[in-house]
Amino acid sequence: MDELFQKYRETGDVTIRNKIAEKYLYIAAVIAKKFVGRGVEYDDLYQVASLALIRGIERFDPEKGIKFSTYITPSIAGEIKNYFRDRARLVHLPRTVTELRARIRRATEELTAETGKNPSAAELAARLRVSEEEVVRAMEAGVTVSLDRPAEDGTSNYYDTIPAPDDGSIERMESADMLSVAVRGLNRRERTFLRLRYGEALSQAETAKRMGVSQMSVSRLERKVLAQIRENVRKDMS
Amino acid sequence: MNALMKVCFPIRTELMTTVRLMTGGLGSHVGLGVDDTEDCKACVTESLLMLLSAGYRSAELLFSEDDGLSVSVTGTDKTQNKVPMYEEEISMALLEALSEGFVIEKEAGVLRTLRFRFAL
């Protein structure tokens, strides 16, 4: 791996950087999971962590004798914390979040703006006229499972049970299955229309040009095909 | 440094939320900000995971007030069965990144105590 880093530093070849990133992407996932439950979705955290990973790869110098995982972990954690500071206040809270949790977030924003520092639970409690205990409990309970607690097997934590970002193959299989039902009974011309209009995302005019027909014909064809698809799906689901 | 609370407990899944609540309560008590309190909870849990993977079945948590919150997490009731750590290096680097003055103490080369602090 050090050779790859060295090679990347010498050549700046993005394919080498991407190879390194693939190898270490799990670190971004592990660290992002540690910060779940603070009002920002995992996917957003993972994205921030991944970008930090790539920036870290670009800066990392293997000749300094430090392991990459040791070097990158604080960088990723730092980026995530910056993200919380800069952006988390703007993220809409999930529907499942309790009213008190939402009020705590709002009060945190207000107090941070007023005092320039992150408020304590006591300050939040005073602002919201609730007990400190209620604030602490709302921050912890009823909002999200504590995913960084050890899992039942004792060898990992619950964050590790969150599925890793996959390549979307399952979604693709389901989509393909649904699609085969939807297009059942369509003739070749109608399928060609679908491929051009929705597969290649062409406009009606472009689709008409490719099919050698008028735009009006395409418009009629579209209504007919969509009606047929709706009917096929409805039958399949009933 | 004023000792605030000392707790011994088995490192078990069902107690982790309680430990996090307690940590949050003490963070609040000493006046830590909510983000630091969240980080402190993550560090406590991470420390317990590390001790568990080193083969400890129980832990002793000591919280002290020291212009912030100082935490000492010590493994007790050691077994011979070490559970492979999923990412020990990452855990250590994370603790170092999130807290101040993170140190570990080893006994015969085996992890025994983790200490860290969150300043006001």
Which residues of chain B does A38 touch, with a Cβ-Cβ cutoff of 8 Å?
A: 38
Average pLDDT over residues A109-114: 87
Strands, E, within chain A: which ranges? none
Between CA A92 and CA A231 the distance in angstroms is: 37
B95, B46 contact by CB (below 8 A): yes
pLDDT tens-digit map of B56-114: 999 999 999 988 999 999 999 888 767 666 678 888 889 998 999 999 999 888 899 99
Residue B23 tokens, joined: 């940590």
Nearest residue of chain B to residue A151 (CA atoms)? B13
A150: closest CA of chain B, how far (Å): 5
Rounded Cα distance, A194 and A222, in Å: 8
What's the CA gap between A120 and A124, in Å, rounded?
A: 6
Q: What crossing angle do the helices spanning A42-59 and A14-34 adopt, rounded to 10°?
A: 140
Which residues on A lie below 8 Å from B73 (Cβ)? none
Q: Does A67 touch chain B (CB under 8 A)?
A: yes
Residue B36: both structure tokens together: 């630091």
What single DSSP character describes residue B65? E
The two structure tokens encoding residue B63 = 């919280």
Among B46, B28, B63, B33, which residue's Cα sits nearest to residue B97?
B46
Query: Is the separation of the CB atoms in A109 and A90 below 8 Å?
Result: no
Q: How many CA atoms lie within 13 A of B81 on its CB side?
A: 3
Mutate to test the interface with B, among A79, A80, A136 (most CBs of B within 10 A): A136
Q: How far apart are CA A31 and CA A29, in angstroms?
A: 6
Cα separation values, A229 from A75, A204, A210, A216, B53, Å: 50, 18, 22, 20, 55
Q: φ and ψ at B66, to 5 degrees?
A: -150, 65
Specify the pLDDT at position A149. Answer: 55
pLDDT tier for residue A98 given thresholds of 50, 70 and 90: low
State the Cα–Cα distance between residues B102 and B72, nearest whole angstrom: 10
Q: How far is B25 from chain A (nearest CA, A)?
A: 6
> Edge to edge, what strands does the sheet with B56-65 contain?
B2-10, B56-65, B68-78, B110-119, B100-107
For chain A, the farthest-separated pair of C-alpha atoms sits apart, in whole angstroms, at 73
DSSP β-bridge partners for residue B2: B65
Q: Which candidate from B34, B96, B98 shows the least CB-CB separation from A139?
A: B34
| Cα of B108 to nearest chain A Cα, Å | 23
Average pLDDT over all residues of chain A? 78
Is residue B1 scored above 80 in pLDDT?
Answer: no
DSSP conformation class of B42: H
What pLDDT, on the 0 to 100 scale, is given for residue A155?
Answer: 56
Q: How would you class A172 by CB atoms within 10 Å of its CB: exposed for 0-12, middle for 13-18, buried for 19 or more?
A: exposed
Round the CA-based radius of gyration of chain B to a whole number and report it.
13
Reported as a single tens digit per residue, the pLDDT across A112-162 is: 888 888 888 888 989 988 888 778 777 765 444 445 555 555 556 555 555
Q: Which of A70-74, A141-145, B47-51 has the lowest mean pLDDT?
A: A141-145
Are A34 and B27 in contact (CB < 8 Å)?
A: no
Give the global pTM: 0.57
Percent of chain A topping pLDDT 70:
77
Domain B2-119 has CATH 3.30.460.10: no
Instruction: Look at A234 and A177; give whichever has higher pLDDT.
Output: A234
